[in-house]
Copies of this chain bind each other. A is one copy, B any other.
Amino acid sequence: ARKHRIAVIPGDGIGKETTPEGLRVLDAAARRFGFELELTHYDWSCETYAQTGKMMPEDGLDRLKQSDSVFLGAVGWPGVPDHVSLWGLLIPIRRGFDQYVNLRPCKLLPGATTPLANRGPADIDFYVVRENTEGEYSSVGGRMFPGTDREFVSQQSILTRIGCDRVMKYAFELAMTRKRKKVTSATKSNGITFTMPYWDERFAEMAKAYPEVTTDQFHIDILCAHFVQHPDWFDVVVGSNLFGDILSDLGPAVAGSIGIAASANINPEKTFPSMFEPVHGSAPDIAGKWICNPIGQIWSGAMMLEHLGEKAAADAITDAIETMLRDGGPRTRDMGGQAGTVDVGKALAEVV
């Protein structure tokens, strides 16, 4: 049977509760569709940081490299600063494995409640393709004249030709697989006048190679407004690291799915493993109660299977989620129900 090697990192807080449910459903899909998942578990987390002073061991990336994909829960815990937890685990994996595409579906699922008036599932169904390695999240910057009135900090935003082209290519290729075949570019070239005009240039250049794809572009300020006013305008939206980050929270928010949204950190060439994680965080306020919603994790598992070439199994999982939500299966509290985390995982594993 086909075999896929999965590195599992539950991480912190509710990550430890959602990951097992993700695995439960993945396991069901593997049995039904006839492939094998070889799991290796890593307990890297803020807890191991407290014990060892490290979020992951020195050779962490080397170990993960043995796997085909990384299945991540959530990273972060009160008391451990973000620059330690996120920059010690999440960001090094994204960058070290050149996972230059961060892909996030924004989809109004049946039964989910959107904060928007008069919008149904047909109105909100698009992808945000976020550049995931450069841009505004750069490692070039510093502080000068500390402690004085002249004090200032500076940080560079960097866009490379390679970085822009490859993520844009991914967005156009994705659009080609979809019915509407449309790519929207997020820019701000009217205000940020060195980097963003270059983004526009590369976008225009890439568009030439895809004559079948319709394109448009909006400045990020009005684009955010359009997400709220006209979510039906979008099919594939491509943005820089920061703009993609913003849009891929705002998109799920308008779709009423921010608690259940999935994401993929993809290295399309498969030179390195890709990583799949729910959009939500470790949710310290409800961690330990087993009441959190595992759908984001399970949906991320579906994205992982698609990346691993198990398209039928991936579709079966997303179908199962939609069916369960539409037909009133078990729901956790955030969706107005009383079910526990495990109830939802089991229900999905059964119908997958």
**What is the interface of chain A, defined by CB distance below 8 A to chain B?**
82-83, 86-87, 114-118, 136-137, 139-143, 148-163, 188-195, 197-198, 220-222, 224-226, 228-229, 241-242, 245-246, 248-250, 252-254, 258
Are B158 and A192 interface neighbours, CB within 8 A?
no
A194 engages B141 (CB within 8 Å): yes
A141 to B196, CA, bound (A): 11
Given the contacts A190-B82, A225-B258, A141 and B195 also touching, CB distance less than 8 Å = yes
Determine how close the nearest CB of chain B comes to the CB of A110; give it in whole angstroms.
Answer: 17
Q: How far is the CB of A63 from chain B (nearest CB, A)?
A: 25
Instruction: Give the dominant DSSP class at A's interface.
Output: mixed
Contacts A154-B157, A192-B155; A249 near B229 (Cβ below 8 A): no
**In the complex, what distance in Å separates the CA atom of A83 from the CA atom of B229?**
28
Would A228 and B192 count as touching, CB distance under 8 A? no
Please give me the residue from chain B that is nearest to A134 by CB atom: B152
Chain B residues whose C-beta falls within 8 Å of the C-beta of A159 in the assembled complex: 152-154
Copies in the complex: 2
Q: Report whether B224 and A191 are in contact in the complex, using a CB–CB cutoff of 8 Å.
A: no
Do A254 and B228 form a contact, CB below 8 Å, given A161-B151, A193-B83, A194-B143? Answer: yes
Partner of A157, one of B115, B136, B241, B249: B136
Could you tell me the distance between the alpha carbons of A128 and B154 in the complex, rounded to whole angstroms? 24
Q: A248 near B221 (CB under 8 angstroms)?
A: yes
In the complex the two chains form, what is the Cα distance from A220 to B250 in whole Å? 10
Choose one: B142, B188, B242, B250; the contact of A192 (CB below 8 Å). Answer: B242
> Given A152-B161, A161-B151, A224-B224, A192 and B136 touching (CB < 8 A)?
yes
Q: How far apart are the CA atoms of A154 and B155 in the complex, in Å?
A: 10
Q: Are B188 and A242 in contact (CB under 8 A)?
A: yes
The answer on a CB contact under 8 Å between A115 and B228 is: yes
Residues of B within 8 A of A161 (CB): 148-152
Give the CA-CA distance A243 to B139 in the complex, in Å.
Answer: 20
- B242 with A225: CB separation less than 8 A: no
15 extra interchain contacts, Cβ-Cβ under 8 A, other than A154-B156, A154-B158, A221-B248? A82-B190, A115-B229, A116-B228, A136-B192, A139-B193, A149-B161, A150-B160, A150-B161, A153-B159, A155-B157, A156-B156, A191-B245, A224-B253, A225-B252, A229-B258
CB-based contact B229/A246 at 8 Å: no
In the assembled complex, the Cα of A139 lies from the Cα of B189 at a distance in Å of 13
